Amino acid sequence: MRTGEPLPAVGQVLAALATGTWQWDTDTSLVTVDAEAARLLGLPPKPATLTEAQVRSRLHPVDWNEIVSVVGLAAAEGTLAEVRVRIMDDRGRVVRMTRSRMKPSFDPVRRAYELIGTLQEVTEPSPGTPAGRNAVTGDWRRSREAFLLDAGRALAEARSTEEVLRVAAGLAMPGFSPDGLAVFGVEGDRLTIIGHHGHDPGDEGPFTHLALDTDYPAAEVVRTGRAVYLSSPEQYKERYPLTWPLARQFGRRSWAFLPLIVAGRTMGAWMAAFSYPVRFTPDERSVLTTVARMLAQALSRAGAAETQRELTDGLQRSMLPTLGPDIPGMSVAARYVPTGGGLQVGGDWYDMIPLPSGRFALVIGDVQGHDVRAAGLMGQLRIALRAYASEGHRPDAVLSRASRFLHGMCAGADDPGELRFATCLYVEVDPPSGVLEIARAGHPDPAVRMADGTVLTRPTAGGLPLGIDPDADYPTTRLALEPGETMMICTDGLIETGGHDLETGWKRIRAILEQHDGGLEELADALVQAVHGPSSHHTTGPFADRREDDIAVLLLCRHGDGRGHGATAAVRPSVRRTMLTVAQAEPERIAVARRLLRELLHDWASADQVDSAVLLLSETLTNVLVHTDTDALLVAEVTGEGGDRRMRVEVTDASDDLPHKRRPGELASSGRGLMLIELLAHAWGVDPRGEGKSTWFEFYESEGTDAA
């Protein structure tokens, strides 16, 4: 072409360069190609208008999906799109590799893309070369897909902002990995640094609380919602001359600033900085954009979860009291652990109430449900209980009034789901004597750790849970806490957490109580820690963090002379004792008495002697209920040192009629009680009292050991 002649048409120039042109309208689903583009697609070399299906049949299916992804990214960023495409023949074989560059635009009226692009044949790069890394096909594509899958899974599992940032810092992107990361948030009209990686502590100082109108890439990203890519220091300096001196000191060569968008709102920006030049090809931009979207979602989820946990914990703890002043001769410890994440607010609570008599009361309870209403009812019920107790009412009267109060709170609810009940255990404590007066409303029984480490559940009379019957009665049980003994009361969350039921959960708690050798506070920590374990996201261990229910536990220890949790020396006493009343109208408590005796003899050397003692106890109690019209009082004690101990079981009743040995016939259904005692016990007797009598028997551990 001579100077001064008119320039050739664009089509002639592109044809001379073996470059075809095409146009795609997603609204009509038609693709128009010129002769060169048709030839490259394996069609007759002449202009044609094709359907999307016809074009798609000539392309590798993976590459078609890549085109759709790159077009969307380029349209969002307002940039050119570039993609490598494999052309297939009718037999599905790759006949050539082409490169297409296109300019997409979006028509908001038709809600469709319009694209104009070029198509040119290229040589497929060798794997492992820089050119190969920039291609969208081959190993790099598979590495990218695997990376995005792993990154998405890791970010989805992160439960806190700190974990999200740690995962983001550990991402190794395929072929290009940033060595400097920063996550910016927005507070009002200023940027904040949520976290960073690859920088020294304090480096974030100049970038903290930057105004959003500052000439800084992250600020621009937040303002516009569009990504900023800077491939060289010169480009950074040219576009952002005011803040370039702040970035220059870190020695980076390329930067990508991407918006963190959730539900259409830009919540911040993510910076990925590289110590080597990066061209930010469409494929690299696609990876960065995908990571930014996943990072924004993960940060949003973590922030919402942290806010909910903080609200839940703050609401629950604001309703829990602090334990009162020191009690002469006694120690108290308490723990509360909220339920698992979200707004799963529980209804568990505990309280310690000074009484007008100089005594104090311990209260523990659980309102049905795990929601804000349960927490609200819990707060009101706790206040009501404290008010009734402060008026000087007895334990049974306190629970009766509280039940009427809760029933009145819920009785007017239109929705049956709003009806609630609550379990509760109320203990009035007399510190000088150690006497406990207990009223129970559907709550688990208390447990006592004796001074020698033996753990017994203390059966107590009880009534319906609070709120079910406004006229319910709550009988009172009196127990004595001996010096060196520790009482534990708790909600069912401590027992049943981790998939346990009441039986297996109690065995687990009992083992902890028996094996622990330390102070009262350490025992409270051990109970809670052993139940729900360390969080699996921070520490590995045999327990998962399975807090299906919240947990409340109260411990009361009566100090002894070198005994128990309130002592400085671990001296084991030589006596352990338990008592139980079996009323005429409660024959089912004979089974409770048998279980209580087995717990008392948990470390007895001879299992046969334990079975014999349980059998004789059952016979003795049954004789009282059958042959008299009085109640029976059981007193069982173990004295002496291990291996040479004595077990004494005594059953007292108010009848003056003494038992007599009989010789029942072969088919008789009764009359063998005293015969069994005489045959099995080492010693036995019937002692008259001023009113009534006492039937007793003894076993000696040393004889049982010798026999074994």
Across the range 8-26, mean pLDDT stands at 77
DSSP H helices, 319-394, are 372-390
> 44-50 — which CB contacts under 8 Å span 24+ positions?
none
- Predicted structure pTM score: 0.56
**What pLDDT was estimated at residue 315?**
61
DSSP H helices, 533-636, are 589-600, 607-627
More confident residue, 33 or 417: 33
Angular region, 140: left φ>0, alpha ψ -120 to 50, beta rest = alpha
pLDDT at 28 over 60: yes
- Look at 69-78, 129-138, 253-262, 676-685 and tell me which has the smallest mean pLDDT: 129-138
**What pLDDT was estimated at residue 414?**
57
Q: What is the percent of the chain where pLDDT is above 90?
A: 20
Q: Tell me the pLDDT tens digit for each residue of 296-316.
A: 888 888 877 777 667 666 665
Across the range 340-347, mean pLDDT stands at 53
Q: Tell me the pLDDT tens digit for each residue of 642-672.
A: 788 999 999 999 888 777 666 654 544 455 6
Across the range 327-332, mean pLDDT stands at 88
Across the range 620-648, mean pLDDT stands at 88
Across the range 127-140, mean pLDDT stands at 43
pLDDT band for position 42 (cuts 50, 70, 90):
confident
pLDDT band for position 318 (cuts 50, 70, 90):
low
**Phi and psi (nearest 5°) for 205?**
-50, -55
Work out the angle at residue 671's Cα, subtended by the Cα atoms of residues 667 and 676, and round it to the nearest 5 degrees: 105
SS3 343: coil
For strand 462-463 and strand 435-441, is the pairing parallel, antiparallel, or unpaired?
A: parallel
pLDDT at 480 over 80: yes
**What pLDDT was estimated at residue 534?**
46
* Chain-centre distance for alpha carbon 270: 29
Q: Tell me the pLDDT tens digit for each residue of 405-457.
A: 988 887 765 555 567 889 999 999 999 888 999 999 999 999 999 888 888 88
Across the range 584-595, mean pLDDT stands at 88
- Under DSSP, the state recorded for 253 is S
pLDDT at 399 over 90: yes
**What pLDDT was estimated at residue 139?**
45
Q: Tell me the pLDDT tens digit for each residue of 221-268.
A: 999 989 999 999 999 999 999 889 888 888 888 999 999 988 888 889
